A = this chain, B = another copy of it.
Amino acid sequence: MYIPAIRRTLLLAATACSALLAACGSADGLRVKEVGSYHVGGRAVTLSGLPEKEIVYSPGSPPVKLNPNGDFAVEQMYARYTRLADPRGKVPLLLWHGGGLAGMTFETKPDGGPGWEMFFLRQGWDVYVSDAVERGRASWARYPEIFKGEPVFRTGKEAWELFRFGKTYDTDPAKRVALEGTQFPVASFAQFTKQSIPRWASNDAATQAAYDAYVNQACPCVIVVHSQGGNFAFNSALKYPDKVKALVAVETSGSPDPATADFARLKNVPMLWVWGDYLDQYPFWQAIFKRQEAFRQGIVNAGGRGDVIVLPQRGIHGNSHMMMMDRNSDQVAALIQQWLADRGLVK
């Protein structure tokens, strides 16, 4: 009679303990080992022979002479990481942004909801979010002395149209027309445009060098890359195929030439392309899709894995180019998570 009583009491105690432990690692929270960041890549430059400049530091105060010559660190990139105490992802997951943007692409969404960084942390990955050369915390360098050419600033109209939010842009939000059925939270468009970061058209080689150094430092890893970042990720994978355990290409806009790429090197780098909705309404995106498909086919032909998800073909409609900010961003991320799990990359 006493033995069952002990058993029952112990069972209750064990159940209470389990419930407490479950709360400790629950969906409400993450067990984080460390947050941190670093700069990687880049080079030292010394400028000399430039004339002094006059700078007015406070309105009304006399100009101060400034000597612009000296030593500068340039062309590095920035990465911020959140490492879990007990990750389920077998390698870190790196999120690479697209053109005219930086890492916050993947952080909290313009509508205030959690973005893909938080989604993949909750799935148990160590997550890295980077800023490419010239963007955000990577910093930028004097031009034309170091960066060649001038910075390009994206207008609201270009963002609205290029990212497939709508076809009729107006400065007055009330007069904008969004694509029918769009998942993008158009009421948060103004918040989204605050993420725009000037870009240069002339920094591809430096950006590639920094990404290569980043892969060399942060990987083995999974890379989830968006838009303009695609070309850099494919090139880094060609350089370090053993370090890239999978590559997810989210509406990537560029790639090495599919006619000459050395696809044999990518045979063991499984790849997945993800495409949103409305592509058929945009010749610009159709052309990009076609070239990306040629690149994907090259991998398949070489005996590698090149999968593709076109969301509307899966019954998921209304996704823009910025699908990580769309209302159903978690639904899209869940497809990526499943594909990564199917590749054996999740414990």
Residues on A close to B: CB < 8 A?
A: 2, 5-6, 9-10, 13-14, 16-17, 20-21, 24-25, 28-39, 42, 44, 46, 53, 55-59, 66, 68-73, 76, 78, 80, 82, 85, 102-104, 107-108, 112, 114-115, 117-118, 121, 131, 136-137, 139-142, 149-153, 155-158, 171, 190-191, 193-198, 201-202, 204
Contact = CB atoms under 8 A, between A and B. Distances in A.
B73 A196 contact: yes
Q: Is the interface of A mostly helix, strand, loop or mixed?
A: mixed
A16 B150 CA distance: 63
B57 A201 contact: yes
Given A2-B2, A14-B13, A24-B21, A70 B102 contact: no
A118 B35 contact: yes
Given A28-B85, A82-B35, A104-B78, A149 B9 contact: no
How many identical subunits does the complex contain? 2
Nearest to A16: B17
Contact of A56 (B2, B35, B201): B201
Contact of A72 (B2, B9, B29, B153): B153
5 contacts: A17-B17, A29-B33, A69-B155, A78-B104, A139-B197
A36 B118 contact: yes
A197 B72 CA distance: 11
A137 B136 contact: yes
Given A9-B10, A13-B14, A32 B30 contact: yes
A42 B82 contact: no
Nearest to A102: B137
Nearest to A74: B194
A343 to B, nearest CB: 26
Contacts of A32: 29-32, 82
A171 B71 contact: yes
Given A139-B196, A197-B139, A191 B71 contact: no
Given A31-B31, A36-B107, A55-B201, 16 more contacts: A2-B2, A6-B6, A13-B13, A21-B21, A29-B32, A32-B32, A36-B114, A36-B118, A39-B195, A44-B190, A55-B152, A104-B137, A131-B136, A136-B136, A139-B195, A139-B196
A159 B20 CA distance: 50
Nearest to A81: B108
B114 A70 contact: no
A72 B13 contact: no
